Structure 1
Amino acid sequence: MRTLWATIKYYKVQLGAIGVCLIALFVFFSYQSHKKAAMTSDLVEIVESGVKEAKKAKPSTSNTQDVVTGAETSSKTEVEEPSESSLEELPASEDAQPVIQEVGQLTEGERPTAESIKQAQENFDQVKDDILGTIQIPSIALEMAILQGDSFEKMLYGACTVLPKQKMGQGNYVLAAHNAGVDGLMFSSLPAVEVGETITIRDRANHTYTYSVKEKKHVDMTDTSMLNLTRKPTLTLITCDQATKTDGRIVVIAELV
């Protein structure tokens, strides 16, 4: 009988310890979930402020001097409207070589965090001169700024151009953005985009270009075929296949409609 009670007491202690551990784990994961939800909410709000900046018109200005008074005057240059020919298919040169431009920020090394993105977004004024417009993907509830250049820092603010002298609605318009591991943030949800869905990009003169997704693929980071010239006006989106260091890339290819 004494042995039986000792055994029961032993297992009661063990079960009690297990119960305490389970409660502690529940509290921990609940806290982490709440913390992530709060961070995501803050990020969505902050990114929206960047989108508002990207939607503002950006007229160029030049200062001239009045020949009579000598006073400087400022004149605005109207943004050129796209011509009909700018929306035509562009011929791809048969001997054109792929543009091999390393997107170093999507290959290896430092990885973005929700915190680093939040800190950058809070200082959006630092890159406002590099803003080209916005990209919107309704199927994943994404809208964010497009910026010129593809540095690690630039991609903390939005999607960045990869090829030199890119023009919206013409040729192969390639954009890269981080996978931050947070749904709806940057290109984290790009793998969820499906063929047939639409993507819209808009410049700061409010010219809109709508594309239909034709292909989604998983490639190695050494594959640069998606940077080739295209016969049809194409939009190519690139991101890492996971938030941690990886050699894999998700590529979404869409054509102008």
Structure 2
Amino acid sequence: MKTWLKKNKYLVGAIGFGMIAIFCFFFANLNQKEEFTREAKTLLSSGLEEAKKPKKQVETKTSKTNSSQPEAVTGAEIPVAPEETALPTGVALSEGERPTVETLQEAQKDFEQVKDDILGTIRIASIGLEMPILEGDSFEKMLYGACTVLPKQTMGKGNYTLAAHNAGVDGLMFSSLGNVAVGETITLKDRSGHVYNYKVKEQRHVNMTDTSILNLTRKPTLTLITCDQATKTDGRIVVIAEMV
């Protein structure tokens, strides 16, 4: 063995340096991911602050903040009109590109430009997520929060569908959506103070061309969509919940 080591000392040395380099790379990436995870909760703070302002306060500086308790809305209290059961047509889940954490951080510095599009907030306690909801589902809009997929959506009615980026960092955007289990609660709150609680009924993995998840429903439903990985992909993770 000693003779072999002596003859192959350069090979052994190269292997040793290679192993050290691999470990250094692994721990550097691990530390970076942990740092991003710690920052995830504060990254969306500016948007959340704006999203939690009552609508009247946003529309006029002279309005007083609404101090009343949020009004909870249940599925039984929200009737669905017959026309809301019609199926949407021509809607596709875009493949698009994936944002980097740095891109998301940069966008949050300029939340002012999308504040008029804020509809409320979404909270998923089981994965430590709370983020703004915005109207519209463009790539740029989704840098700021979860966005409505279909036009003229109303919280608490039909199939309220939201999409957000998978940034590959736990707790940031919808990166941890795959960890949301059946039976858990998801809470939406609009800017008028109404609270909508949904119970998760199902999680699916679908292709981006599967638009059946966008079908409108008779019972108030919440559908959340994100990419199944943080790189370019045609797979989607879908969480479906019903109002309680």
Deviation at 1:233, TM superposition (A): 0.9
> Against the structure 1 CA distance between its residues 36 and 54, is the aligned structure 2 distance closer, same or farther, given a 3 Å change threshold?
same
**Matched residues in 1 for 2:41 and 2:74: separation?**
37
Residue 201 of structure 1: SS of its match in structure 2?
A: strand
Normalised by the length of structure 1, the TM-score is 0.82
Match of 2:146 among 159, 174, 179: 159
Deviation at 1:175, TM superposition (A): 0.5
Q: What residue identity is the alignment partner of 1:231?
A: R
Match of 1:100 among 79, 84, 90: 90
Residues 125-157 of structure 1 show CA distances to partners (whole Å, capped at 9, x for unaligned) of: 221111111100111111111001111000011
Match of 1:241 among 209, 215, 228: 228
Alignment of 1:36-47 (within 5 A): 36-47=33-44
**Matched residues in 2 for 1:211 and 1:18: separation?**
54
Q: Which residue in the other structure is 1:197 paired with? A: 184
| Structure 1 vs Structure 2 CA RMSD | 2.9
Q: Which residue in the other structure is 1:251 paired with? A: 238
Alignment check: 8 A CA contact 2:148 2:161 kept:
yes
Residues matched between the structures, number: 239
The runs of 5 or more residues in structure 2 that have no matched partner are none
> Against the structure 1 CA distance between its residues 146 and 8, is the aligned structure 2 distance closer, same or farther, given a 3 Å change threshold?
closer
**Matched residues in 2 for 1:22 and 1:250: separation?**
36
Q: Which has the larger radius of gyration?
A: 1
Residue 212 of structure 1: SS of its match in structure 2?
A: strand
The runs of 5 or more residues in structure 1 that have no matched partner are 63-73
Alignment of 1:51-130 (within 5 A): 51-59=48-56, 61=59, 87-93=77-83, 96-103=86-93, 107-130=94-117
Q: Which residue in the other structure is 2:7 paired with? A: 10
Give the stretch that moved more between structures: 83-92 or 228-237. Answer: 83-92
Q: Which residue in the other structure is 1:169 paired with? A: 156
> Against the structure 1 CA distance between its residues 158 and 61, is the aligned structure 2 distance closer, same or farther, given a 3 Å change threshold?
closer
**Matched residues in 2 for 1:94 and 1:128: separation?**
28
**Matched residues in 1 for 2:220 and 2:78: separation?**
8
Q: What residue identity is the alignment partner of 2:91?
A: Q
Give the stretch that moved more between structures: 217-226 or 130-139. Answer: 217-226
**Matched residues in 2 for 1:161 and 1:255: separation?**
17
Normalised by the length of structure 2, the TM-score is 0.86
Residue 55 of structure 2: SS of its match in structure 1?
A: coil
Alignment check: 8 A CA contact 1:163 1:174 kept:
yes
4+ long deviations beyond 6 Å: 81-86
Deviation at 1:89, TM superposition (A): 3.5
Residue 254 of structure 1: SS of its match in structure 2?
A: strand
